[in-house]
Amino acid sequence: MVYTPRSARRGTLLVGTVAVLGLLTACGNGKDVGDPPVTASGTAAPAQDGKSGSVSAPASAPAGTPSASASAPKTTGSTGAGTTPGTTRTATTAGGTRCHTSELGASVGRNDPGAGQENFPVVLTNKSGRTCTLRGYPGAAFVNGSGGQLGADPRREPGSPVSVTLGPGQSAWSGLTFSNPGVSGAKQATPAALLVTPPDERDPLRVTWAGGPVPVSGNASSVRLTVLGPGTGP
């Protein structure tokens, strides 16, 4: 048994009696005994999302702030380069709609040389059962047996494009001209084929090339094309 001095026992009894009286007084006055709530001024910090260093985004934007969709610029599409936004370039031309690659056949006519120049007609023929039109310049490129291009793209001779109406079986032609590389001294190569692309089309037609060497680089190596005209050559 632990001995407790008489003075210590009296102090403990006195403290207990005061605590009981205080509790009875609080219960008897009908009022809460808790501390009143304390309100702190300032802005609350964002709620943490449970990850170190990250915060939760607010549920909505503050009043008066435009939403992302409202502030994003609106754009209008266009079909065809050079058209005004919001407008559509039509393929319709005088005499019907334009001829598509799948409706045409390509060929290279007989050379008509002169004064060190080689001149070949590049012919496009309507092989479909409908009437269609061609207007402007065809695309052309010499390629080797592996399909790699030889030389630069041909330049366009100045001219005034006209719409050429082709019934089934009818043709239009463009002049393909270059300086003979044996005369001009340009670096030369012998192509395996000429790729011909109709105006406003992307898919080319492949024509076996039998016209001999062509200039691919160096002086006087330019290859030129004229606008399309009706027929198969001059």
State percent of the chain over pLDDT 70: 59
Q: Which fold is adopted by the domain 96-230?
A: Immunoglobulin-like (2.60.40)
For residues 181 and 84, the model is more confident at 181
The pLDDT confidence band at residue 218, using thresholds 50, 70 and 90, is confident
Among 92-101, 133-142, 170-179, where is mean pLDDT lowest? 92-101
**Whether residue 42 has pLDDT greater than 90:** no
pLDDT of residue 96: 61
Region 171-186 average pLDDT: 95
Using pLDDT thresholds of 50, 70 and 90, give the confidence band for residue 85: very low
| Residue closest to 203 by CA, chosen among 81, 90, 100, 129 | 100
pLDDT confidence tier of residue 219, bands split at 50, 70 and 90:
confident
Query: Letter for the amino acid at 137?
Result: Y
- Residue 117's pLDDT is 95
The ranges assigned to domains in the chain are 96-230
pLDDT at 220: 83
Provide the pLDDT for residue 59: 41
